[in-house]
Structure 1
Amino acid sequence: MKIVNYPHPALRVKARPVTTIDKEVQLAAGGMLELMYRHEGLGLAAQQVALDFQMIVINFAGDPEQQDKEVVAINPVILEQKSVFKDREGCLSFPGLYQDIRRAKTVRVQAYNLRGEPFEMVCSDLAARIWQHEIDHLNGVLFIDKMGPLARMGSKKMLEEFIAEFEEGVQKGTIPPGTEMKL
């Protein structure tokens, strides 16, 4: 399992709902948490590891020692959004790219845990930003889609570099041709 970088096609796939929480889903959650920590992230969506189902992992502290801050969310949805704020945001699929992005300041989300139990959570500020960012991934929406015109202009060179690296990887065979989703 590895994190795919932009413009990998997996990042634009709209994820399918999870209907059964089986061993594969549980193993994927563990692998995703491990990868998220290795890359010093706060969240990771299944599409970022080329899986096509609705699951995200989060650690609001970004610290593997604080497992009480860990969340595995299956089929998450945002039920309510309040207020708006703009803050710096990045993404593990866009290493080194950061821009100010407008997001809801507070969200109420609903999801299922790995035992299939529903839960709700109300979060604000950074935690709300993480939820929105990761749920966007499940819908094939990337943080670059949320950039304003100035941020997009400021990111143009890096985005072109990501595209060039991806194309080079396909040509060299380090990225498989077609880059099909794993099921």
Structure 2
Amino acid sequence: MTSVDENRSGGPGPAAGEWAADGAAGGWSAGDGGQAGGYPSADYPAAGYHYAEPDRLTRWVNRFQARAPRWLAPVAALGCVAGAVGFTLVTDPTRSAPDAAPSCFLKLITGLDCPGCGGTRAFWYLLNGDLPAAARHHLLFVFAVPFLIYLYVAWAGRQFFGWRLPQLEITPRAIGIFLAAWGAFSVLRNLPWAPFDAFYV
């Protein structure tokens, strides 16, 4: 850990009083380890400034990330998706009882569809090639799936093979529009009138 009075090479740095005096006069020089104009440099941080020591977990994660091969993250993500696919196919949520675990707490208490209700069933119908039924159970999920697949393929292709596929630019504005559409869909699907009641699951 580098103290205030030591630079990164281990040599002594100016004392706090020297920082103030030299800085006020605008007299930082290369010999003082500073910059012209009275601003401290990276080698001589301002008096009282300290770098936070990373905790043990952060250090372990950083070491693991530095040593892990590039293909590990895409394979791990693919393994998680494969687990979700296997669970959905085995349990078949389209034949489960309404209160079967795992179930939606909001649905059990209020009878209303939450923003995610029907997503697992929509996933099951997509896996079985029934796009209309999937869209009826969760239209926004079906809309998002192609974008999620492309994002994964572009990322994994770069990690594995160095592909340079065009990257989707997901701006805060786009995220806001999608979340607003998801919120509106969550409200409209709970209305008891046609055609909105067709999306109630």
Larger radius of gyration between Structure 1 and Structure 2: 2
| RCO higher in structure (CA 8 A, sep ≥6) | 1
TM-score by length of structure 2 reads: 0.20
Which structure: greater helix fraction? 2
Q: Which has the higher strand share?
A: 1
